[in-house]
Structure 1
Amino acid sequence: MPVQVSSDRVAAVRAFNRFFTRHIGVLREGLLHSEFTLTESRVLDELAHHGDRPSAALCRDLGLDRGYLSRIVAKFENAGLVGKVPCASDGRTKLLHLTQHGRSVYAPLDQRSRDEVGEMLAPLDEAQQLRLLDAMQTIGELLGSNAAPSGMKYAQPFVLRAHRAGDMEWIARRHGEVYATQHGWDASFEQLVGHICAEFARHFDPALEHCWIAEMAGQAVGSIAVARSDEAGVAKLRLLLVEEAARGHGLGSHLVDECHRFARAAGYRKMRLWTTDQQKSARQIYQGKGYVLVAQQPVHAFGQAMVDETWECDL
C-alpha cells in the first residue's frame, strides 16, 4: 500500500530540485556555455564513456522518446559528430558511434564539467566534501531502485580522498593480511609494501605523485598511488588494493582511471606497474585499461613460486 506523502514534504523536494538545477546550471540555454542542450550533452556523454550504443539502449537509459532521440542523432550526423556502425554480433543492428570529430568536440565539454564540479567542491573542506558525497549516495540508494535505468547504478557506493597520516601503515598491513588470506603469501610481502609506502611518504612530491584512499560508509576499503620513476615521463602505478567487501562496484577500475587522469595532468606519457601472474583480478583490470605485458620472470617470492610481470600503458 502506497505511503501517504504530506504536501510539505512534496514542497521540500520541489524546492531542492529548483535549488539544485539552478546551482548546477542546467537551466542555461546552452549547457556548459556550449551550443548543446542538457539532453544533447547527455547523449554525447553516454557515447563517449560507454562506447557504441544502439538507439533503443540510449532511449531506455536516458528516458528519452524514440522520436526525440532520432532528431538529436540526425542533428549530430549532419554535424559529423555521430555515425552508425554495424554491431559485431549482429550485422543487421546499427550502433551509434561517436566520431573522432565528435570526441574532439566533446572533450572540452567534459573538461568544463569537471572544472565546474571542482569549483563547486573547492570551498568545502575534506569532511564537508565527504558529507556531500555521502548525502548524494543516500539519495541514489533511496531513489535508484525505482528511478535508475535497469542495469545502471545511480551513484557509486564509495568516495575517494587523498592519503593522510596513518594511511600508509593501513595500506601495508592490509596488503599483508589480504594476500596472506587469499594467496598464502608470507610476511615478507607486507614488509615489501611497507618499504614502498615508507619511500613514497619520505620523498612525496604532490605535483608528480598522489595516493588515493577509497572509503565506504567511512571505512577504508581500497588504495592506489601514482609514483615517480627513474625514467623521465614514466610514472609507476602502485599500491592497488580493493577489499573483498568493496568488490563488484567497479572500484578497482575507478582507482586506475583516477591514476591515469592525474598522470596525464602531471605530464606523464606512460604508466608502468609490477604485478604477478597470481593477481588475476588486477591483471584483468590492467588489460582492460590498455596495459600490455612487456617483461616477465619466474621467481620464488613471499613463500610462493610465481612469475614477476611488468606492464606498461601509453597515456
Structure 2
Amino acid sequence: MTVQDIRSFNRFYTNVIGALDYGRHLYAPYTLTESRVLYELAHAPRTDAADLRGQLHLDAGYLSRILNKFEEDGLIERGPSEKDPRRRRITLTAPGREAAALLDERARETVGSLLDTVRAEDRPRLGDALRTVRELLGDGRAPRPEDVVLREPAPGDLGWIVQRNAALYAAEYGFNADYEGLVARIVADYGEDHDPHLERTWIAELDGRPVGCVMCVRDDAPGTARLRLLLVEPDARGLGIGDRLVGALVDFAREVGYREVVLWTNDILGAARRIYQRHGFALVAEKPHRSFGRDLTGQDWRLDLHATPD
C-alpha cells in the first residue's frame, strides 16, 4: 500500500459519488454542507449550535449563516439550551423535518441505484471491505453516543424489528415463539395501516446498522399513545440509546397533541423500566400472567403529558 494507492482510490470514489449526483440534483435546493446540517438536526432532536459545530467541524460564522437561512425559511426554531442557558438549542420545524426526509429519501434511492450494479453475492464482500477501511483508517475508539443516529425505518427494518425481538427475548429471557407471533402482528398492523401524523417508528443506527427501535401507535383510548417494542442490541447498550428512543417518542407524542402515553411491560425487564421511570412514567397496575412460556408479572405504566415536571 502506497500513498498513490490511496490517492487513486480517492479519485475513483469521488468520481463515483459525482456520477451519482450528476443530473439528479441530490441536495437541491441546499448545498452539501446545508444538507449535512439538516441531517444532523433530523437525527438528534435536541441539538445545540455548539454540538453541531463540533460534530460537523464547521466554522462558527459559516454555521451561523446556515442556521439564519434555515430560520428565515421556517425550517428550524431556536431557543435556550436545556444543557446550558448560554447555548442555543436548535430544533427542526415540521417543514424542516419534511425537507430532511426528502433529502434522506433521495440519498437512499441514489445509493440504492449504486448497489443495484453490484451482484447480490458480492454485496457482503463489499460491506466487509467498507467496514475494514473504516476500522483501519479510523481512530480505533469505541462507539460514542453521538455516533448513534435516530431515523425512520427503511425497507427491511420492520422485518428486522420482528427478527431481533424474537431472537433477543428468546436468548435473554427464554421467551418462546408466541412472543415472535405477537411482535409480528404488531409490526404487520403498523406496516399495513398507520397514520404517519400520529404514529411513528424510530430506528437507532450505529455504523450503518440498526441497533435499536421503538414504536409509537395510537391506543384505543382517545388522546392516548402507546409505546411498543423498545429494544437495544446488547453490543450497543451503555450509549444511552434507550433513553434517546423513549425521549424522541415522548417529544413526538407531546408535539402531535396526545394527552398521555401508556405501555405494557414485564417486571423482569429492569433496564427498560428504569428508562421509563426517568422519563416520568408511573406504574399504575400489575398482574401475574403466563405468556411466552414463562410465568411473568405484567405491568401497566402511564405518562401524563400535561403534568408539570418536578
Band the TM-score falls in, shorter-chain normalisation: 0.5 to 0.7
Shift of 1:285: 5.2
For 2:166 and 2:142, how far apart are their aligned partners in 1? 38
Shift of 1:55: 3.7
Alignment of 1:1-315 (within 5 A): 5-23=2-20, 25=21, 32-34=27-29, 36-82=30-76, 84-88=78-82, 90-91=84-85, 93-98=86-91, 103-119=93-109, 120-121=111-112, 124=116, 135-145=129-139, 152-153=146-147, 161=157, 163=159, 172=166, 174-179=168-173, 190-191=175-176, 194-198=177-181, 207-208=192-193, 231=220, 241-248=231-238, 273-284=263-274, 292=281, 295-299=284-288, 302=294, 306=297, 308-310=299-301
Residues 1:240 and 1:126: Cα distance change in structure 2 (over 3 Å) = farther
For 1:10 and 1:96, how far apart are their aligned partners in 2? 39
Alpha-carbon displacement from aligned partner over 1:263-315 (angstroms, at most 9, x marks no partner)? xxxxxxx9864213442322355578x895584225376456x561255899x
Alpha-carbon RMSD: 5.6
What is the TM-score of this pair, normalised by structure 1?
Answer: 0.58
Q: Show the counterpart of 1:264.
A: none
For 1:230 and 1:87, how far apart are their aligned partners in 2? 32
Which amino acid in 1 is paired with 2:238? G
Q: Is the 8 A contact 1:30 1:37 kept in 2?
A: no
Q: Is the 8 A contact 1:47 1:53 kept in 2?
A: yes
Stretch moving more, 244-253 or 9-18: 244-253
Shift of 1:95: 0.8
For 1:212 and 1:76, how far apart are their aligned partners in 2? 24
Shift of 1:110: 1.8
Q: Which runs of 5+ in 2 are unaligned?
A: 195-200, 251-259, 306-310
For 1:71 and 1:57, how far apart are their aligned partners in 2? 16
Shift of 1:65: 1.8
For 1:212 and 1:144, how far apart are their aligned partners in 2? 27
Give the count of matched residue pairs.
278
For 1:155 and 1:230, how far apart are their aligned partners in 2? 27
Shift of 1:64: 1.3
Secondary structure of residue in 1 paired with 2:93 = helix
For 1:299 and 1:224, how far apart are their aligned partners in 2? 27
Shift of 1:68: 1.9
Task: State, as a whole percentage, how many aligned pairs show the same letter.
Answer: 30
Residues 1:278 and 1:129: Cα distance change in structure 2 (over 3 Å) = same
Which amino acid in 1 is paired with 2:269? Q
Shift of 1:174: 4.5
Which amino acid in 2 is paired with 1:111? A
Q: Is the 8 A contact 2:38 2:100 kept in 1?
A: no
Which amino acid in 2 is paired with 1:276? N
Shift of 1:29: 11
For 1:145 and 1:213, how far apart are their aligned partners in 2? 26
What is the TM-score of this pair, normalised by structure 2?
Answer: 0.59
Q: Which runs of 5+ in 1 are unaligned?
A: 180-186, 261-269
Q: Is the 8 A contact 1:60 1:149 kept in 2?
A: no
Over alpha carbons, which structure has the higher Rg? 1
Shift of 1:208: 4.5
Residues 1:272 and 1:197: Cα distance change in structure 2 (over 3 Å) = farther
Residues 1:38 and 1:6: Cα distance change in structure 2 (over 3 Å) = closer
Alpha-carbon displacement from aligned partner over 1:121-145 (angstroms, at most 9, x marks no partner)? 2774877766665554444433342
